[in-house]
Structure 1
């Protein structure tokens, strides 16, 4: 049944920003979530599902996932669904439609059970793949009342969980210059492209002595070679290991000033996820998850990851957070993307065990009452 569900979800291509495609997939997800026993609601384009507590007080489990992918509609034509042994391929199967399948299967398996469980909230974000620019407030609000957060992003290769993430910021530098004829009156103009190039060199110098990843992802400007460019912009991707570096670099971006008279330089944060450093709360939660997994016959470990997700937000807030609970596989954002069929079954069992048993696990160094 899990593979059939994943096949349905994969056929519903859902690239970030495609409102029609996302809406069609959201309707199917909400129907399946309701069938599994969730109460469903929406906050904008984001899906919010909840299960009431059953015999447990003082605990609320928050699970984070997303239903957008990086793949445009039509990708299935050249990257089709396939199953070969344990390997399932298709756009979005690993990141992270298999995680949604495992979660819904896990909750469905608990529907007729009389086991105790805490209150459960699930946020399924619509724009995670571009940094969740519209989901941050929702994630923060839900995290404020959660006692633990589980992320349904893909795990490390081999299946280990994620206990920290680099901070991730998408920023835009925009330059406004003055257009003029490039041959007859060049001094009357201010070239926005030239100014932007100098600004990019300045930003590169800003991160040069820091363990910061900087990628100039897109650049655009001007229009004709005989016209001094009046506008230019670049979109940057930044990844941070520490909050100190994050604050220094973002402060530098905010303080950019023009090299050229009459040029105007503006920097804007398009999306921002704070640095999530592994901490005692995360370590303790991981230890509890490892014990639950061991009781279910599964062996797990955990370590920080370079990629970013919505768990950056909850982890940075200090809420006990562990990510990577989607099924194992590989090739995220690559044409060879794949997920393990057995991994879906294993993660389904693990998620069911965590929902019903995580609150029974004492924090490290304490005894269970």
Structure 2
């Protein structure tokens, strides 16, 4: 398994480099062919290479991705290494070790019949080209098992995820000379400042409280670990010259929601923004990206995984709700029971400290294999 992991990590696959993702797909495909005895269906959409294996009539979908956030050349400064039971390298945790565990788990089954595997190449950038493929692949399945890394260094599974929305508020004003006749302009920067405050206060308007530039939207049970929805202004730009009243400004907004109801409510509020300055005009672009993976979608599978862990003599499993999204959001929204975080145990995803606990790779693979076996019945 470590030899396979080394090969995947050394083949860099930065999401933005489609040629690198295509090379990675060849390496991942060859690994699957060697372990499963069958090559993948290669699907290229928008220049991005995805892989899919289907054995018989699929009942269980295994979901993974082979792209990473690491720019090309990162392997030079963060080389593959194993020392003291810790494996390091760009993408080792998120999620190349999860792919290795997935292939070895399926290879250990008496037969792969009833299993479908989907490994996409653009998860780290929102799965724009693969979303339809994911939704198509999960159709008719009884379970979706997502090989993203565990929720923490102790191996907690991910039982719920927030949904995501992204917006850009475009403010249209009118330019004028800032020294000679500023009164003839409509200052888009000033209007954008009003909108930033309005956006940050959306949660307060719903009566759920607000703090530090982040709106908190009601509708989430804090006991789930997800907390309230967050509405956060992020990027801000305005103007074209130092001596000109800005005619245009842009505000980017990041939204994280625990439920589809909250996602719809935030969307309505964003599209209801109104200008404060006479003559200013707003455009609200964007919208929902990933739907929430709500706790009910994982409950039965988590209970099954917990029983299996006990049978295997492993430590009791814990489930954690997390704010980040994955392709499990799509499978859950499609109505398929979904359990996430079944991949590698480690920490530091997307950071220089990224690592995998090597000692947990085989136990997690055994857990996954038995979970597949039980879920496809």
Give the structure-1-normalised TM-score.
Answer: 0.86
1:167 equivalent among 153, 163, 169: 163
CA deviation string 1:236-264 (max 9, x = no partner): 22111233322211111122232234433
Counterpart check, 1:126 vs 2:110: no
User: 2: distance between equivalents of 1:331 and 1:349?
Assistant: 24
Mean Cα deviation higher: 35-44 or 97-106 = 35-44
- The RMSD of aligned alpha carbons is 2.3
The residue aligned with 2:43 is 42
Match of 1:282 in 2: 298
Q: List gaps (5 residues or longer) in structure 2.
A: 209-216, 218-227
- Structure 1 residues 222 and 3: CA distance shift in structure 2, 3 A: farther
> Structure 1 residue 292 and structure 2 residue 308: aligned?
yes
Confirm or deny that 1:323 pairs with 2:340.
Answer: yes
Q: What is the Cα deviation at residue 117 of structure 1? A: 4.4
Indicate the residue corresponding to 2:230 in structure 1: 213
**Is contact 1:256–1:266 with CA below 8 Å preserved after alignment?**
no
CA distance in 2, matches of 1:219, 1:185: 25
Change (3 A) 1:132 1:177: farther
Measured in 2, the distance between the counterparts of 1:228 and 1:127 equals 40
- Corresponding residue pairs, total: 350
Would the aligned equivalents of 1:50 and 1:119 in 2 still touch at CA under 8 Å?
no
Deviation of residue 116 (structure 1)?
4.3
3-state DSSP of counterpart to 1:287: helix
Q: Conserved in 2, the CA contact under 8 Å of 1:289 and 1:358? A: no
**Does residue 1:30 correspond to 2:29, yes or no?**
yes
Deviations 1:95-124 (A, max 9, x none): 1111111112223444xxxx2444222222
Correspondence 1:199-348 to 2 at 5 A: 199-208=195-204, 209=208, 210=217, 211-269=228-286, 272-279=289-296, 281-299=297-315, 300-348=317-365
TM-score under structure 2 length normalisation: 0.85
The gaps in structure 1 that reach 5 residues or longer are: 361-369
What's the CA shift for 1:339?
A: 0.8
Q: 4+ residue runs of structure 1 moved beyond 4 angstroms?
A: none
Alignment check: 8 A CA contact 2:166 2:253 kept: yes
